[in-house]
Structure 1
Amino acid sequence: MATGRTHRPATRSRGIPEATVARLPLYLRALTALSERSVPTVSSEELAAAAGVNSAKLRKDFSYLGSYGTRGVGYDVEYLVYQISRELGLTQDWPVVIVGIGNLGAALANYGGFASRGFRVAALIDADPAMAGKPVAGIPVQHSDDLEKIIQDNGVSIGVIATPAGAAQAVCDRLVAAGITSILNFAPTVLSVPDGVDVRKVDLSIELQILAFHEQRKAGEEAAASDGGVQAAAARSDSADQGPDGDMPAVMPA
């Protein structure tokens, strides 16, 4: 089985825009769901809706892959699954090392989606001596003193950092020095890396803050709509109390 250290995805050499690359996993997830339901073909409109993009953008993205579909038929689901998987480099084995086996690191180690998507958790590493040798997801945790050797022995090119923020940069520096060229960072901090090293940051607190913003905005819109309804009702009531010329009616004698 080929490893990630000897093969790299062809997306950059083929000039595929980063925005398109970022959407390919969304298409792949939607296509995989269709494949599991034995759906043979899908239209651009159906696939775009499932992936959460517009159909024009989808067709543009697929044009970079050299896939244009068939008019009146759509796209062949199985072929697109293979084509996108190949473009993303998922048709080969990618050994991954996870550093920091606290609650988050352990949850990542137990995630069953890695293997089905071309990623193999090759090692789990932690700085706590008490963790050494303990199995997590069936894999014994190894001490961080052996990080460089572990990376070399397993041919790892993707590192996952799930350490506290204060330890993340030092771990990152060691990963890069050991030959890691791609890092997925779950630590709540910004990492500094040299040119040629790719970092993807996953910050759960930022995502929650963005959701809080949207919730606040929706609540404000609902409140504004409610206030508008009350004001409209009040205006209708005032209008009903006025005379035909808009004046207040005279008080009728008792």
Structure 2
Amino acid sequence: MTAHGEGVRDDGPRDADETAAQPRPAEGITVPEPQDRARSIPEAAVARLAVYLRVLSGLAEQEVHTVSSEELASAAGVNSAKLRKDLSYIGSYGTRGVGYEVAVLIGQIERTLGLTQQHRVAVIGIGNLGHALANYGGFPNRGFPVAALFDLDPDLMGVPVGGIPVDHVDDIPRVCAERDITIGAIATPAKGAQDVCDRLVQAGVRCVLNFAPVVLQVPEEVEVRKVDLAVEMQILSFHVARRSQEPQESGDPGDGVDGTPQSKTRDVNAGADPVDGMVVRS
């Protein structure tokens, strides 16, 4: 069985279960390099690729070797057409009658998301949320081990959390450089977040995950992902309030316009538009 991950995309995505083989590029047509394709992927599709990777990793752990577009789409909470479109961005179209090879697709998505390189995480702000982040097993299991912790509280200095001793925020530049930190997770109060971010940038960190309720000002080369849990609660409240005002139609409340049952669970990382997710780019 052969999976075709590097085919040429011409006029749109192909159905994974209808494509027998990858087409060869016509004479004079240049096949985009993987890095060029990655630059052209919409941010919302990147978020969904991460969800597909999570699902595929679970399938691999269960020793599932192939998966159809319909099965993968259902498990990821999207429709199969959107999934095929997303996977076409990375040059993966599947095989007719088989679908996608799980191991091959995992490799393609990991390369696209930059997961073939080592990442090490620093958590700044060791309160309740910082403790939870430091002890979260999902980070190392997915290739993002927490390697440094920082706080201002003198009582926390040297105290191990999740097996890692806490350092003072003044030591961010030195410790991050020594431990090759590539991602900083800011879990401080709002008033201290910008100073912490500046120290991370000074240390050469170019990826910041911001849990503080503030928009950070960063240089152009620094990427920021903002996670505001209160905002997510407010969005949920809006949807609940809207549904309570909708007139009850015949049939099940969860049925779509075509009578197909709709999922009640929405994964914000699988959502289509950046405005629906948790992204803030300063």
Structure 1's consecutive aligned runs of 4 or more residues displaced over 3 angstroms after TM superposition are: 9-14
| 2:273 matched residue in structure 1 | none
- Aligned match of 2:162 in 137, 147, 169? 137
| 1:225 matched residue in structure 2 | 248
Q: 1:11 to 1:116 in 2, by over 3 A?
A: farther
Report 1:15-54 matches (<5 A): 15-54=40-79
Bigger mean CA deviation after superposition, 132-141 or 59-68: 59-68
Give yes or no for contact 1:184–1:200 (8 Å, CA) kept in 2: yes
* Aligned mates of 1:72, 1:13 — CA distance in 2: 28
| 2:88 matched residue in structure 1 | 63
User: Alpha-carbon deviation of 1:158?
Assistant: 1.1
* Aligned mates of 1:88, 1:11 — CA distance in 2: 13
* Aligned mates of 2:105, 2:189 — CA distance in 1: 39
Give yes or no for contact 2:37–2:89 (8 Å, CA) kept in 1: no
| 2:188 matched residue in structure 1 | 163
Question: In the alignment, residue 79 of structure 1 is paired with which amino acid?
Answer: V
Question: In the alignment, residue 83 of structure 1 is paired with which amino acid?
Answer: Q
| 1:198 matched residue in structure 2 | 223
Bigger mean CA deviation after superposition, 105-114 or 149-158: 149-158
Report 1:78-93 matches (<5 A): 78-93=103-118
Question: In the alignment, residue 25 of structure 1 is paired with which amino acid?
Answer: A
Q: Is residue 213 of structure 2 the alignment partner of residue 183 of structure 1? A: no
* Aligned mates of 1:50, 1:11 — CA distance in 2: 29
Give yes or no for contact 1:162–1:186 (8 Å, CA) kept in 2: yes
SS class of match (1:215): helix
- Aligned match of 1:105 in 118, 123, 130? 130
Count of matched residue pairs: 216
Query: What CA deviation, in whole Å up to 9, does each residue of 1:157-184 have, x standing for no partner?
Result: 2111000011001111111122111100
| 1:251 matched residue in structure 2 | none
Q: Is residue 146 of structure 2 the alignment partner of residue 121 of structure 1? A: yes
What is the alpha-carbon root mean square deviation over aligned residues? 1.8
* Aligned mates of 2:147, 2:118 — CA distance in 1: 11
SS class of match (2:248): helix
Give yes or no for contact 1:34–1:77 (8 Å, CA) kept in 2: yes
TM-score of the superposed pair, with normalisation by structure 1: 0.80
Q: Which has the larger radius of gyration?
A: 1
User: Alpha-carbon deviation of 1:142?
Assistant: 0.8
Query: What CA deviation, in whole Å up to 9, does each residue of 1:198-230 have, x standing for no partner?
Result: 000000000011111112122223xx439xxxx
Unaligned 5+ runs, structure 2:
1-33, 250-282
Higher relative contact order (CA 8 A, sep 6+): 2
SS class of match (2:120): strand
User: Alpha-carbon deviation of 1:16?
Assistant: 2.4
* Aligned mates of 1:185, 1:218 — CA distance in 2: 31
